[in-house]
Amino acid sequence: MPMSNSRRGKRHRTRLLVLAIIVMLLLGGFLYCYSYFKVTKVHVKGSIRYSKDEIKDMVMSGPFGDNSLYLRAKYAGKNVEGIPFIENMEIKIDSPTEVTIRVYEKSIAGCVHYLGRYMYFDKDGIIVETTLEKEEDIPNILGLDFDHCIMYEALPVKNKEVFKSILSLTQLLGKYEIRCDNILFSKDGNITLYFGKARVMLGKMDNIDEKMIKLQYIIPELDGRSGVLHMENYSEDSEKDYITFEKDAS
């Protein structure tokens, strides 16, 4: 017997009602997840090169980037890689509204300018990054003798020990907030720092910490000057400072 129009209409209305309930439940669940798991507090640890906001933008990108449930699924068992000067980043979900981002930066000792690019190397001389524009806080190293540069391989210099000296020196420069343009490591092991037209001759690595402590107070006096500051023989225990400034000839 054919189904009456009323029964057919009633079944259609029932399907619509069930569909509407499902849609409402899904929408309600979505709104609940969106609001309950919305991140309101972000902790960034270990980042020096990038600001907190820059790290947040890298990790929490996309329309659901501020949702801890989404972040947990996106970074489950994964680290964030492929970002210049960063080894990796770990994302920890502390609570539905709180996230901690732990940043592990690459240990950069210095850079060299080669074929129009700046090649950044670590304590072992291995090239770990390259850019067209130089990073301001990483000194350019002069005096290294090499004929090629390959990413993720060590600079082919004869004296591998020079990289330890470079790292020690650049770390001290950072510690005492001394920013120079270039650092020259001569073949005989002498070091020269360049500040515009002023040069600071440090000699070898002997008493280098003491020299840096003294130099941080001298730097302002070098502004706009042209010449050489001699600190080769300076030490904290010496009877004389052994610091002289030799002006360039006009």
pLDDT of residue 29: 60
148 and 166 both lie in a single domain: yes
The structure tokens listed for 176 are 């005492």
63 and 149 both lie in a single domain: no
Q: What is the largest CA-CA distance in the chain?
A: 119
pTM of the model: 0.71
Per-residue pLDDT, 1 = 47
> What span, in angstroms and rounded, lies between the C-alpha atoms of 58 and 82?
11
How would DSSP label each residue in 169-199?
HHHHHHHTT---SEEEE-TTS-EEEEETTEE
The answer to whether residue 6 sits within a structural domain is no
Residues 116 and 101 grouped into a single domain: no
What's the average model confidence in pLDDT over 98-121? Answer: 90
Residue with the bigger pLDDT between 69 and 172: it is: 172
58-100 confidence digits (pLDDT tens): 888 877 778 888 888 888 777 777 788 888 888 888 888 898 9
Residue 4 lies in a domain: no
pLDDT at 27: 66
Question: Comparing 43-57, 68-82, 123-137, which segment has the lowest mean pLDDT?
Answer: 68-82
d(CA 103, CA 127): 20
Same domain, 239 and 167: yes
Examine the domain organization and report whether 204 and 226 are in the same domain.
yes
Residue 119 pLDDT exceeds 90: yes
Residue 163 falls inside a structural domain: yes
Find residue 86's DSSP bridge partners.
105
* Domain end call among 72, 88, 105: 105
How many CB atoms neighbour CB 237 within 10 A? 6
Query: Could you tell me where the beta strands, DSSP code E, fall in 106-148?
Result: 110-114, 117-121, 127-131, 140-142
Residue-number span of the structural domain to which 60 is assigned: 41-105
- Strand ranges across the sheet with 41-45: 41-45, 98-105, 86-95
Residue 172: inside a domain, yes or no? yes
User: What DSSP letter does each residue of 47-93 carry, written as one string?
Assistant: -SSS-HHHHHHHHS-STTTTBHHHHHHHSTT--B---TTEEEEEEEE
- Pick the residue with more confidence: 22 or 101? 101
Average pLDDT for the chain: 83
Element housing 12 (H / E): helix 5-36
